[in-house]
Structure 1
Amino acid sequence: MNVPGVAASEIPSDATLLDVREQDEWDAGHAPGALHIPMGELAGRLDELPDAPLHVICRSGGRSARVTAYLNANGWDAVNVEGGMQSWAAGGRPMAAETGAPPEVV
């Protein structure tokens, strides 16, 4: 699948980040300010997407690549975050957690 991609290190701090991971993955660690819509729920929640370019992220880049292709085919401007949250965390980008524990990528 050929989708547009961007390195986590190149995402501007004011970019709209769409996290398509499952709830437990989100709770363990996510980018602050990201919009969370799990991949399996996306089709039913398209009305929640902002009218802005989207940077789509998952754990390693596979799910987000599929979502990016879907969104671009349906009129959105989306780009896949290459390497996903694993690259985000490895690059020292900010993270938050809902668990009370230090944020991590699971």
Structure 2
Amino acid sequence: MKQVKIIVVMLFLAVFNFGFAQEVWHKNDVYLVSKGAIFKGGVDVTETLSEADKKAVFSQFKADEKLRKKNERALAKSQKEAKAAKKSLRQSEKALKKTREISAG
């Protein structure tokens, strides 16, 4: 049941992240990239930017996305490892408790 809950939460976060614009810094300006359009100050500047600037903003956006996905995978992996370590600790404590009961009895 917990696995289903985790999957639903991860799916929700993925949809939530892709539904909104991502900030990109280029030439000391902050642009928002959303669905193939570039915004600056809430105004669509996709057509007013030079081709080189558009290419640079989109490539920075892709690099940021790649890094964000890598970080999400690393976070998920570390959470999984922490869960496994916690389970192992509980099992060890349970075995120790049984050993103490046997030796005391």
What TM bracket, shorter-length normalisation? under 0.3
TM-score normalised to the size of structure 2? 0.22
RCO comparison, higher one (Cα < 8 Å, 6+): 1
Rg larger in structure:
2
TM-score normalised to the size of structure 1? 0.22
